[in-house]
Structures are given as structure tokens and as C-alpha cells.
């Protein structure tokens, strides 16, 4: 049992260090040595947990980014009677009020999609699954909003969920590329107007 706990702690330490390195420098821009230096571990311990760098990258998507999506963008919506209000609130909190130096790094998921999905099938499949998870969980929230009378009955909530997730990623991409937080207001107002169009009056 203790050995299992030790392995879990080692794995978490590596993933935590790797996430920040990859987030700030890109997957291809970081070496295993770079990551090991950010831990208390040896290179041997690293390879015991992750035989290859790709194994580490896949674990970052499955074990760090996917739970982060649920924690940041889905679970908070449960606190709102109308999930549309929650979506806008989270958007303003996590992107609109984020420090400029953080926005310059972009979105961890979006970054990996741009960098790794075109060049590695393993990444492509896992990143697609992460996006699909986000869309599916967003769709559940929107169906709840529709059931409670906040969204028009003829609205396809799956399409709205897809649009909302892509809008989030577009927000990050534009703000990262432009390095201008003022662009957020125009993007945010456009999404809010879209929500007004699909809501029951």
C-alpha cells in the first residue's frame, strides 16, 4: 500500500512540474531533463513512471487537463439556476480578469491542440476526447437550462455547447495572439448577445 502511495505521489509531482513547463514553453520546447530539474526526483524515477516523453504528454491530457476542464468550466455552473449566467460569469472571472502575463500563455488545451494534434495521433485522439468531454458536459448544463425554461425549446443544445466551447478557445487564442485584454470585452459582449437570442423571453 505504501509503495502504491509513493508511486502516486511521484507521478503527481512529475505531472505538476511538467504541466507548468509545457504550459509556458510548449511540449516540444521542454526536455525530460527540464522537467526532472523542477522536481525532487531522479531521472530514473521519472522513467519508472513515464517510459517516454509521449507517455507523459498523454497523461497530462488525461489526468491534468481533462479534470481541469470539469473543475474550471463545468462544476461551477451547478451553482447557477440559469447555467447561461454561470458560463458568462466563469468567462469573465477566468479569462476577463486573468493577468496579462497569464493570458499570454493561452489555454493549455488549445496550445496542445495547435502544437501536437497535427503531428501525433495519440495526442490528437486524447485532445479530441478532452474537447468532446467539455462539449458533452456543457450540453448537459444547457439541457438543464432548457428544461428549466431558460432556453428556447427549439434550440439544439449540443450545437450551442459546441459553439460555446469553441468560443472559449477562440477567446484564449485571440487574447494570446493580440496580447490586448481590451479585445475581451468585444468577444464577451458578442457571446452575451448570442445567449440573449436563444433565451426564452
Answer yes or no: are the C-beta atoms of 39 and 13 closer than 8 Å.
Answer: yes
Q: What is the reported pLDDT for 174? A: 86
Q: What is the reported pLDDT for 4? A: 65
197: Cα within 13 Å, side-chain hemisphere: 7
**49: CB partners within 8 A, 6+ apart:** 7, 10, 11, 14
Q: What is the reported pLDDT for 200? A: 77
Query: How many angstroms separate the first and last alpha carbons of the chain?
Result: 57
pLDDT tens over the chain, length 201 residues: 556 668 899 999 999 999 999 999 999 999 999 999 999 999 999 999 999 999 999 999 999 999 999 999 999 999 999 999 999 999 999 999 988 888 889 999 999 999 999 999 999 999 999 999 999 999 999 999 999 999 999 999 999 999 999 999 998 888 888 877 778 999 999 999 999 999 977
DSSP 3-state assignment of 188?
helix
201 grid coordinates: 423571453
DSSP 37: H
Residues of the chain with CATH 1.10.357.10: 58-198
Class of domain 58-198: mainly alpha
**Cα gap 50→48, rounded to integer Å:** 6
Fold annotation for 1-51: Arc Repressor Mutant, subunit A (1.10.10)
Residues of the chain with CATH 1.10.10.60: 1-51
Give which of 60, 67, 188 is closest to 115, Cα–Cα: 60
Q: What is the reported pLDDT for 100? A: 85
* Residue 31: count of CB within 10 angstroms of its CB: 12
Q: What is the reported pLDDT for 197? A: 96
Q: What is the reported pLDDT for 19? A: 98
H/E segment holding residue 136:
helix 121-147
DSSP 3-state assignment of 156?
coil
Amino acid at each position: 500500500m505504501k509503495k502504491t502511495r509513493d508511486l502516486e505521489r511521484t507521478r503527481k509531482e512529475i505531472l505538476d512540474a511538467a504541466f507548468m513547463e509545457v504550459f509556458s514553453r510548449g511540449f516540444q520546447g521542454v526536455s525530460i531533463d527540464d522537467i526532472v530539474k523542477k522536481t525532487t526526483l531522479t531521472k530514473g524515477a521519472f522513467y519508472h513512471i513515464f517510459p517516454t516523453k509521449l507517455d507523459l504528454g498523454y497523461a497530462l491530457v488525461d489526468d491534468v487537463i481533462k479534470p481541469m476542464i470539469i473543475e474550471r468550466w463545468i462544476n461551477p455552473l451547478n451553482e447557477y439556476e440559469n447555467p447561461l449566467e454561470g458560463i458568462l460569469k466563469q468567462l469573465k472571472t477566468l479569462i476577463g480578469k486573468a493577468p496579462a502575463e497569464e493570458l499570454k500563455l493561452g489555454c493549455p488545451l488549445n496550445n496542445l491542440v495547435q502544437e501536437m494534434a497535427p503531428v501525433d495521433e495519440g495526442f490528437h485522439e486524447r485532445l479530441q476526447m478532452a474537447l468532446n468531454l467539455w462539449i458533452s458536459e456543457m450540453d448537459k448544463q444547457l439541457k438543464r437550462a432548457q428544461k428549466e425554461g431558460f432556453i428556447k425549446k427549439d434550440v439544439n443544445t449540443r450545437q450551442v455547447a459546441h459553439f460555446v466551447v469553441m468560443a472559449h478557445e477562440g477567446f484564449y487564442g485571440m487574447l494570446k495572439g493580440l496580447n490586448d485584454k481590451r479585445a475581451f470585452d468585444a468577444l464577451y459582449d458578442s457571446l452575451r448577445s448570442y445567449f440573449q437570442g436563444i433565451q426564452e423571453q
